[in-house]
Amino acid sequence: MEEFEQQANTASLPSLRLYYDIFLSFRGEDTRNNITNNLYNALYSKGIRVFRDSEGLTQGDEISTGLIEAINDSAAVIAIISPNYASSRWCLEELATIYELGKLVLPLFYRVNPSDVRRQLGPFLDGFRDLERKFSPEKMMRWRNAMERVGGVSGWVYDNGDESQLIQLVVQRVLNELSNSPMVVAPFVVGIDYSLKELIRQLDVKCNGVKILGLHGIGGVGKTTLSKALYNKLASHFTHRTFILNVKEIATQQGIMSLQKKIIQGLFPSNAFSFSPANANEGREKFRRMLREKRILLVLDDVDYVNDGVNILKALMGDKNWFFEGSRVVISTRNKGVLIENIVDETFEVRELGDTDSLKLFSYYAFRRPDPSPTFLNLSKQIVSITGKLPLALEVFGSFLFDKRSEEEWVDALGKLKQIRSPRLQDILKISYDGLDDEEKCIFLDVACLFLDQLDKKVENVIDVMEGCGFRARIAFDTLTTRSLIKVIDGGDLWMHDQLRDMGRQIVREEGFSEPGKRSRLWDVADVLSVLQGRKGTQHIQGIILDQQQRYSSKIKTTKAITREQFQEVPSFSSALAYIKELYKGQFQNDAKETNELVLNTEVFDGIVNLRLLQLDNVKLEGNLGKLPSSLKWLQWKRCNLSSYYSNYYPSELAILDLSESQIERIGSREWTWSRKKAANKLKVMNISDCHKISAIPDLSKHKMLEKLIAERCSNLQRIHKTVGNLKTLRHLNLKDCSNLVEFPSEVSGLKNLEKLILSGCAKLKQLPEDIGKMKSLQELLLDKTAIEKLPSSIFRLTKLERLSLNHCYSLKQLPGLVGNLSALKELSLNGSAVEEIPDSIKNLEKLHTLNLIWCKSLAALPHSVGNLKSLANLWLYGSAIEIVPESIGCLYYLRSLSLGNCQQLTALPVSIKGLASLVELQIEKVPIRSLPHVGALKSLKTLEIRNCERLGSLPDSIGELLALKTMTITRNDAITELPESVGELQNLVILRLTRCKRLHKLPDSIGELKNLVHLLMEETAVTVLPKTFGMLSSLMILRMGKKPFCQVPQSTEITETATDAEKETEPIVLPSSFSELSLLEELNARAWRIIGKIPDDFEKLSSLELINFGHNDFSHLPSSLKGLHFLKKLLIPHCKQLKALPPLPSSLLEINAANCGALESMHDISELLFLRELNLANCMSLVGVQGVECLRSLKMLHMVGCNVSCASIVRRKLDKVALKNLDNFSIPSNEIPSWFTPSEVHFSKHENNEIKAVIIAIVVSVNCAEPDDLRDELPELANIFAKIVRANRPVFTTGMYLAGVPTTPEDQVYLCRYQDYHPLVSILEDGDIIQVGLGNLPVTGIELKKCGIHLVHENDDDYEGNEESLDESQQSISERLTRFYGASNRENNIFSSNSAQEDGEGEGSDNFLSFIKEIFYTLKYLLFRKF
């Protein structure tokens, strides 16, 4: 069922139109003369091509060939399922055929219940019974399957509502699908199923170890398609994952470090790691260490050799040891030689498609159906054979033939194919290129050579440029898309297959193979500089791309910025001197860098008289800018070096000007010089975004053709010249985040063609022009986060306005009474505004689709007329002050999403909610309701969320009627004691959340019927017994049922009456015998379930387990069968006070947490746990040793605070320097810090040739256990100790230190934390910064930070891998010194200690005195350092 619903949610109409857009399937006697006829007419009137069988299927039992052809030649099907639909064998036959042909079905349930359709009940019951007497079981099963599928698709439900509104929604959906179709990247994929299964088998994500797989094959064979499909299959198994397209292109254009940075940003989008290396060697080393931090999925597409034979893969990474355990890397390449054996484990050759799949793929693009029509079958087979069965060739050539329906045209195309000797892919692709007209060819070459390397590849921006060149760009782009020569992906980005790109670039190279100056387009930096600097430009050149990469910039404030702020806040001699010092340093650094910038004189363009397109980002131009070629149509000069850009600089034909991210202060001049170059009026688009020094937009009255003005984030912009209001051609005006803009032109009557006005983020803008109603063409008005106090009364005249956004307008208290006159409005968003009332006229907004009233805290009521919004699909009231939801809401037949979260004044839901037949999502949170109305009528509901409704006492039995429900969330409830038995009827339920339902003590016996349940989350409930049917949850993968430790979960009244507290405490918890049947279970959390005794050995039947959390239980033994859980990654058993021994454990483990297991005496040898990353044995006071710890080369964290000293000493002796170097966190009982650590804080000085690699912090802490603190004792780690970077007396970065294990004894404990160079504590350090460690302000008591030491690890300080026994301390590596200090002989080392008397009696006499002298010495040194 999930499969069918997914089809409706994610599928769209095929990317190219067939003969028909829609095939109508209907029961004539029910609907022919009403909804079917009306829908047909509505679709037809919108230009949608519809097939309707006027005669119907009335003869014979089989569907006619002509009807099959019509279905095949239709993009999608609208199935109108009416009460008598199933009484017609012809309707059922038609529906079954539609599904067998793989068509997208959009169902309209006309006076029927989707549940009845799915189960063939209600009005369909008798019809199927009659048919069963006449037809075979096989045919009946085929028809039933078709009905089940269509009933499982989320469509439109119509009972007795407004039919015209329904038809309008259906038409709009079809139009949206048709307009969105170019967004599909791969609309039809065949022949990859076997390869996909084989690759998934090889990668086996459940196994530990690192696997690197290489896909290789010739260009166009489908490597990218297969890689994407593989990524989609594996992505859900990885938190950190990324897919990098066009690796060769990135490495060639931007370099290996840019590629590394892109990978890191993709894997860690939250910026948990900083990546800004100074050079390639540092980048490679830092990249390696970052990859070792987390389990990742990395797919690199199109890896190859670049720059004189450099292997990208070899330059990018080393062997498998670079990656965290369990990581998977997939590499696709045309060149098998790239896949180096010591990096890649296995290779897989992607081969051409087979005969059947090749014909099917070709047929899809040529005919939009799985098989060719008989007339073209033989020709199709010949073409498939000649094209070599390569998917790209089949797609492009098939698309080329799509609009050619005569045999003569096909024979001609076949002849061209046969003329190619030994056909190469690019020769085949070129046939499609040759079929373009001259304008389309020009645009194709512009895209292939110039625009694919842009960071901003939005197709709309490229269309603007092409239209600026005078081309019919939209028509041409439609043709290129239809021919599969370009595609639009990822929300509007332009994309082209690398083979097509290479073909286009090869066409241009052949224009002047050895003379770049004779080519029409130049994109390679070397070629561009050769031509320009050598003055070799000719009239042949039409386009040039030159982008000098900008440097990485940090978001952390620089010392210069901080000292400037301090001087502004507190002007004084010292603050001025500090700022002047930083200014001097900055100026010196800038002068040094300027010597490396690219400088060109405008004279280099003298011979390039036909130049249309020019990009000069990060380039300094000198000379007469007015001498740029007059033919220039597009000039992109980001980060240009000018302070002013005068109008007489404009080339006479210039249409697009992009000066974004520049230091320009003025555009134009005090006296505009339009008379000098009147042709400058051809400018259509001006972009000055991120020009932070511009304070005003000047007189633009001479720009008679300006269509777009973009000035986003011009933070100093304050004024806009009044002439902007008279720009009659302007369609798009974007002033987003111009935070100092205080006034918009008051006269805007000239903006009659403006379609989009964006003023969001103009925080000082208080009013709009009163005559805004004269913007007759306005479709979008975005005013978010402005200081708007009211909307102009004339706004009601904006009859074309579709989107009005007023989010976070905190001064806006009311809407105009005539807001209902905005007849075209589809979205009204008032999120976070101060609106107090919604006008009653809103009832007239017949097209309104979304009404967003989230966090409207002053809005107490909705007008009753809201029920008239027949098109409303989304009503969001979260956080509003709504007291009553009007009963009229039940009339919103097509509402799909209703949010009532945090409506704390709302005490009840209206009974009429049952009328929301199309509702898919219902969210109720922090609403003081006590009961739910009858919800069984919500047949389309898929998501039900009820959070923090503490007074809700029960769920209605009708909950079981929500057969489409996939996710049910009932959390943070204090009243519900049990779920109704009808829950077992929710056959499609996938996720059930019951977390913190504190009085829920019983699950229904019927829960075992939930065959599709995957996630059951019921932490902190009162449930102590699982039903016997629990093992029947055959799909269950995640089970979280942990209790809150350290306290008792409240029991229900019923339980309290039947058992005393003492009985409840001692009553053993037994898992049902069927529990071991949960063979798919991957995560089990049974924390604090009071499991006692011994866990049975049949636990090994849970063979899929990856995580076990048995913490805070009372069992004494773990099952010996644990070793058989080959996929187990985490074993969490903290606070198991009775546990005495750990049995043999599986080698797959990455983490063991046995903290606070006070009775734990022994552990089985762990030397085989080669993947173990974290071992937590904090406060295991009875433990006598850890056998095999010295073998754990993957160990990154070892926590032993609170253990007995003898055990800790044994472990310390076993750790060599390699182990210490690998450990990022290490803690043991001790009060010692090496003397060569700097106490309390350290000052950082940057050395040009001595990079910092790490920061090691050591602290000594004691906990006053006699001082009770529940928060401190409940936390799994020691809180309230922070490390920070102080710059110019201000903290610029603070991080809480990870100190796992809270000591349960008052003895001193030492924690060592190593921060690698990709951690912000290291990566953002600047000269003069101070690193400090200290206590924070968290409400945690009893923690004493006795001392701390910090050591900076520089390049070569910790790199030596040889034997260091004969070296003195000054020559030893950092890890060797730490090993000796914390090893068996550490008492002989110097220490920095405030507590000179040692517990064991050593260190007395002269040694004690020596320690005292050293303490004084370091203290004085520290004070002097701070002083000066």
What CA–CA distance (Å, rounded) separates 1215 from 1193? 10
What CA–CA distance (Å, rounded) separates 656 from 697? 17
Per-residue burial over 103-133, b if 16 or more Cβ lie within 10 Å, else e, is bbbbbbbbebbbbbbbbbeebbeebbeebee
What CA–CA distance (Å, rounded) separates 991 from 1006? 16
What CA–CA distance (Å, rounded) separates 1312 from 1256? 7
Per-residue burial over 1008-1039, b if 16 or more Cβ lie within 10 Å, else e, is bbbebbbbbbbbbbbbbebbebbbbbeebbbb
CB 252, CB 307: distance < 8 Å? yes
What CA–CA distance (Å, rounded) separates 1317 from 204? 32
Please return the burial class of 193, using the count of CB atoms within 10 Å of its CB with bins 0-12, 13-18 and 19+: exposed
What CA–CA distance (Å, rounded) separates 835 from 507? 60
Q: Catalytic: 94? A: yes
Q: Write the single-letter amino acid at 759.
A: L
Per-residue burial over 1300-1316, b if 16 or more Cβ lie within 10 Å, else e, is bbbbbbebbbbbbbbbb
What CA–CA distance (Å, rounded) separates 350 from 344? 16
Q: How wide is the angle at C-alpha 317 spanned by C-alphas 493 and 292, nearest 5°?
A: 95
Q: Please count the residues of the chain.
A: 1428
How many CA atoms, within 13 angstroms, populate the side-chain half-sphere of residue 1208? 22
CB 873, CB 895: distance < 8 Å? yes
How many DSSP H helices and E strands does the chain contain? 35, 60
Coil, strand, or helix at residue 1150? coil
Q: Is 1179 left (phi over 0), alpha (psi -120 to 50) or beta?
A: left
- Kindly give, in sequence order, each residue whose CB lies less than 8 Å from that of residue 630, ignoring residues fewer than 6 positions away: 651, 652, 653, 679
What CA–CA distance (Å, rounded) separates 1019 from 1001? 12
Residue 1280, phi then psi, degrees to nearest 5: 80, 20
Catalytic residue among 93, 94, 352, 1251: 94
Q: Hunting for tokens 């978010």 — which residue is that?
A: 784
Enumerate the β-bridge partners of residue 1344. 1262
Per-residue burial over 832-852, b if 16 or more Cβ lie within 10 Å, else e, is bbbbbebbebbbbbbbbbbbb
What CA–CA distance (Å, rounded) separates 1166 from 1164? 6
- Measured CA to CA in angstroms, residue 38 lies from 24, 41, 165, 280, 872 at distances of 12, 5, 12, 67, 21
Q: How many CB atoms lie within 10 A of CB 448?
A: 24
CB 118, CB 147: distance < 8 Å? yes
Provide the token pair at 1420. 């004085």
What CA–CA distance (Å, rounded) separates 1040 from 1043? 9
**DSSP states of 966-1027:** -EEEEESBSS--B--GGGGG-TT--EEE-TTBTT--B--GGGGG-TT--EEE-TT-S-----
What CA–CA distance (Å, rounded) separates 1124 from 1146? 6
- Kindly give, in sequence order, each residue whose CB lies less than 8 Å from that of residue 994, ignoring residues fewer than 6 positions away: 970, 971, 979, 1000, 1016, 1017, 1018, 1021
Provide the token pair at 45. 């009137």
Q: Cite the active site residues.
A: 94
